[in-house]
Amino acid sequence: MLHGRNKMQQMAINLPPVQSYPDGLPIYFLTGRNYLYQTLFCIQSLVRVTTAQFKFILVDDGTFNHQITEQIKRQLPGAAIIMQETIEQNLNTILPAVKFQALRNKRKVYPHLKKLTDIHALPGNEWKLVMDSDMLFWHEPKALINWLKHPQFPIYMVDCVESYGYTTQLMKSLCGTNLPTLINVGIIGLNSNSINWQDLESWTSELEAKEGPSYYLEQALTAMLIGQQPALVLSGDDYIVNPDKNIIYGQQKILHHYVDLSKEFYFKHAWQQIAIP
**Burial (Cβ within 10 Å: 0-12, 13-18, ≥19) of residue 67:** exposed
pLDDT for the residue 228: 87
Q: Which residues contact 229 (CB under 8 A, 6 or more apart)?
A: 153, 154
Flag whether pLDDT at 273 surpasses 70: yes
pLDDT tens per residue across span 96-151: 999 999 999 999 999 999 999 999 999 988 999 999 999 999 999 999 999 999 99
* Separation between Cα atoms, residue 240 and residue 242, nearest integer Å: 6
Backbone angles phi, psi at 62, to 5 degrees: 110, 0
pLDDT for the residue 123: 92
* Separation between Cα atoms, residue 160 and residue 243, nearest integer Å: 9
pLDDT tens per residue across span 49-107: 999 999 999 999 999 999 999 999 999 999 999 999 999 999 999 999 999 999 999 99
Flag whether pLDDT at 246 surpasses 80: yes
* Separation between Cα atoms, residue 196 and residue 100, nearest integer Å: 12
Q: Which residues contact 116 (CB under 8 A, 6 or more apart)?
A: 195, 200, 218, 221, 222
pTM of the full structure: 0.96
Q: Tell me the one-letter amino acid at 150.
A: H
Classify 2-275 by CATH class. alpha beta
The residues facing 128 across adjacent strands are: 190
* 3-class secondary-structure state, position 112: helix
Domain boundaries, the chain: 2-275
pLDDT for the residue 70: 97
- What mean pLDDT value characterizes the chain? 96
pLDDT for the residue 277: 62
Is the Cβ–Cβ distance between 119 and 59 less than 8 Å?
A: yes
pLDDT for the residue 38: 98
